[in-house]
């Protein structure tokens, strides 16, 4: 009998089956291959090896405390310049350019409302505000901790942490910033601000933002302190496939160091699909659905030592997030509720909410078992109006009827 013809991706499949890490060249070939079925199938096989048919979601609330930012990143449609005194009027909600900053009371009210509806996580990020003191951020964490004792506070990207170290009086080391925030109630760091780790892309799209070395310094310090973090990759703007693959390789190398030397590490990679609308790069198309699936699958294959791959439905759309559950992804994030940084699902409004029923339906229709997780991927167990984390002695009462989560 004739031997079946060798397939163009056979060698990559063999490397994966042997548990080897794929090279830069392998990753680029996966981006170039027209055989998207084999790519999806290989990513799904690794996903199933790690998580079976389970797919995670969570009940969370995003809070964006300000859109004032000292940076002017070309890909960002969220930032507003801080008003100059006597020119644009007073800072705050009424500023003429759409800028805002929330008071601690407003932030706590948002967190409390979500907690009362059963949310397990507050995801808090904002622009680099030129005026707010470091105490604003520690006060924010301690006030939420007091009002919502078991709510996981996942807050502040690496870029914000570096900003806090600079504005604190006297200046602080990264470790000191993290320790003070943790003492005030911070639990983990989200993965934002990584964009693409490449000098060329950095120079063109987000020149004034701190670079790769400092992003990793913050995550290294967090991991050494036992604080878990996430990692992102913002793709589909000015980068090449090779630059995406190099970014993923840097993440897995850092992860290996943390796994070997630290008590915490990256929990997940979140490839973020660039949304051009409203940004200085609005002339670009942004990634296609196929590019999204390819990038999610390749992220799974390039980073076998990072446990989870998350498709953030706000940026991928619920439809792509659902399909990606068979392309390497095991997590579609959460209820979100309000999201200011990009607007697609909400057709221009910041109210971008997905009910638990819809999250579960997307997962079940994809042939997976929906599991509610907390931020650290521990199982959340719900009764009619209490929730608890497996193996924890406490439980939280909530009222499922006060909102649209159910
Ligand atoms: O840091 C900014 C990106 C990030 C655009 O850790 C854009 O669980 C697409 O990091 N199009 C914030 N993306 C979001 C983020 C995140 C989201 C969900 C979960 C987690 C997590 C983290 O969004 C920014 C930036 O990289 N971003 N502008 C844009 N136009």
Full set of structural domains in the chain with CATH: 21-82+96-372 (3.20.20.70)
Beta strand 369-372 with 351-353 is: unpaired
pLDDT at 371 over 50: yes
> Is the pLDDT confidence value at 353 over 80?
no
Number of helical H runs and strand E runs in the chain: 14, 14
Q: Which residue's CA is minimally distant from atom 14 of ligand 1?
A: 192
User: 95 alpha carbon to ligand 1 midpoint, in Å?
Assistant: 25
Dihedral angle over CA of 348, 349, 353, 359, nearest 10? -10
Quick one: pLDDT at residue 41?
98
Distance 192 CA to ligand 1 centre (A): 5
> What's the mean pLDDT in 380-400?
93
> How would residue 405 be classed by pLDDT, with cut points 50, 70 and 90?
very low
What integer pLDDT is reported at residue 86 of this predicted model?
55
Which residue among 272, 274, 287 is best mutated to probe the pocket of ligand 1, counting the most ligand atoms within 8 A of its Cβ?
A: 272
Whether 55 and 370 have beta carbons less than 8 Å apart is answered as: yes
54-68, 196-210, 358-372: least confidently modelled range: 196-210
Give the count of beta carbons closer than 10 Å to the beta carbon of residue 34. Answer: 8
Question: Tell me, what's the pLDDT at 83?
Answer: 86
Residue 341 has pLDDT above 90, yes or no: no
Q: Give dist(CA 81, CA 96) in Å, integer.
A: 11
What helix, strand, coil percent values describe the chain, rounded to 5? 40, 15, 45
Percent residues over pLDDT 90 in the chain: 83
For ligand 1, atom 27: residue with the closest CA: 76
- Strands across the sheet with 396-397, in order? 380-382, 386-389, 396-397
Which residues, 6+ apart, have CB-to-CB distance to 374 below 8 Å? 58, 120, 121, 152, 380, 389
Contact (CB, 8 A) for 317 and 303: no
Specify the pLDDT at position 245.
98
Smallest CA separation from ligand 1 atom 4, residue: 192
Within 8 A by CB and 6+ apart from 383, the residues are: none
Q: How many residues does the chain have?
A: 406
Closest Cα to atom 21 of ligand 1: 190
The two tokens of residue 76 are 């960002």
Residue 164 CA to residue 236 CA, distance in Å, equals 30
Contact 135, 180 (CB under 8 A): no
Task: Report CA(5)–ligand 1 centroid distance (Å).
Answer: 43
- DSSP assignment string, 203-242: HHH-TTS--HHHHHHHHHHHHHTT--EEEEEEESSS--HH
Do residues 343 and 66 make contact, with C-beta atoms less than 8 angstroms apart? no
Under the banding of pLDDT at 50, 70 and 90, the label for residue 2 is low
Q: Cα–Cα distance between 225 and 218 in angstroms, integer?
A: 11
Ligand 1: which of 232, 235, 238, 287 to mutate, judged by most atoms within 8 Å of the beta carbon?
232
Q: List, for residues 322-339, the tens digit of each pLDDT value.
A: 999 999 999 999 887 777
pLDDT above 90: residue 400: no
Over 80: is that where the pLDDT of 348 sits? no
**402 and 117 in contact (C-beta within 8 Å)?**
yes
The pLDDT mean for the chain works out to 92
* Pocket-forming residues, ligand 1, beta carbon under 6 Å: 75-77, 157, 190-193, 195, 230, 232, 234, 270, 272, 274-275, 279, 312, 315, 333, 341-342
Query: For 240-256, how does the pLDDT look when each residue is reduced to its tens digit (9 = 90+)?
Result: 999 999 999 999 999 99
For residues 354 and 93, the model is more confident at: 354
Question: In this structure, what token pair is assigned to residue 151?
Answer: 């709510």
Q: How many CA atoms within 13 Å lie on the side-chain side of 237?
A: 27
The alpha carbons of the chain give a radius of gyration, in whole angstroms, of 21
pLDDT over 80 (residue 343): no
| pLDDT for res 269 | 98
* Residue 4 predicted with pLDDT over 90: no
Tens digits of per-residue pLDDT, 77-116? 889 999 876 554 444 455 678 899 999 999 999 999 999 9
Q: Could you tell me how far CA 257 lies from the centroid of its own chain?
A: 21
| Residue of 210 and 48 predicted with greater confidence | 48
> CA-CA distances (angstroms) from residue 221 to 37, 175, 176?
40, 6, 10
Q: What is the mean pLDDT of residues 285-305?
A: 97
**Residue 1 — very low, low, confident or very high, per pLDDT cuts 50/70/90?**
low
pLDDT of residue 334: 86
pTM for this predicted structure: 0.94
pLDDT at 162 over 70: yes
Q: Of 184, 133, 132, which is closest to residue 155 (Cα–Cα)?
A: 184
- Token pair of 284 as six digits: 């670009």
């Amino acid at each position: 009998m004739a031997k079946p013809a060798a397939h163009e991706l056979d060698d990559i499949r063999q490397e994966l089956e042997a548990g080897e890490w794929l090279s830069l060249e392998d990753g680029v070939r996966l981006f170039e291959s027209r055989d998207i079925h084999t790519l999806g199938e290989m990513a799904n096989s690794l996903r199933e090896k790690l998580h079976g048919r389970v797919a995670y979601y969570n009940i969370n609330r995003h809070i964006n405390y300000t859109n004032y930012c000292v940076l002017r990143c070309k890909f960002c449609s969220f930032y507003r310049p801080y008003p100059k005194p006597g020119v644009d009027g007073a800072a705050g909600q009424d500023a003429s350019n759409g800028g805002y900053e929330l008071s601690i009371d407003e932030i706590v009210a948002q967190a409390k409302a979500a907690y009362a509806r059963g949310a397990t996580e507050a995801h808090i990020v904002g622009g680099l505000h030129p005026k707010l003191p470091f105490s604003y951020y520690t006060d924010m964490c301690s006030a939420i901790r007091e009002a919502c004792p078991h709510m996981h506070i996942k807050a502040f990207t690496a870029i914000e942490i570096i900003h806090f170290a600079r504005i604190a009086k006297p200046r602080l080391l990264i470790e000191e910033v993290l320790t003070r925030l943790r003492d005030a109630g911070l639990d983990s760091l989200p993965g934002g601000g990584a964009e693409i780790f490449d000098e060329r892309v950095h120079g063109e799209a987000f020149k004034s933002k701190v670079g790769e070395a400092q992003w990793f310094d913050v995550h290294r310090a967090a991991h050494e302190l036992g604080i878990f973090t996430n990692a992102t990759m913002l793709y589909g703007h000015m980068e090449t496939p090779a630059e995406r693959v190099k970014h993923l390789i840097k993440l897995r190398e850092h992860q290996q160091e943390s796994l070997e030397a630290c008590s915490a590490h990256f929990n997940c990679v979140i490839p973020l699909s660039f949304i051009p609308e409203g940004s200085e790069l609005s002339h670009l198309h942004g990634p296609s659905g196929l590019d999204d699936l390819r990038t999610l699958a390749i992220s799974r294959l390039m980073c076998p030592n990072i446990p989870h791959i998350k498709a953030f439905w706000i940026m991928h759309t619920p439809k792509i997030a659902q399909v990606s559950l068979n392309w390497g992804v095991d997590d579609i994030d959460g209820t979100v509720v309000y999201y200011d940084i990009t607007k697609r699902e909400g057709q221009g409004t910041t109210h971008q909410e997905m009910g638990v029923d819809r999250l579960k339906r997307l997962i079940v229709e994809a042939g997976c078992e929906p599991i509610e997780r907390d931020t650290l991927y521990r199982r959340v167990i719900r009764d009619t109006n209490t929730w608890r984390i497996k193996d924890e002695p406490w439980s939280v009462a909530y009222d499922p009827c006060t909102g649209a989560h159910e």
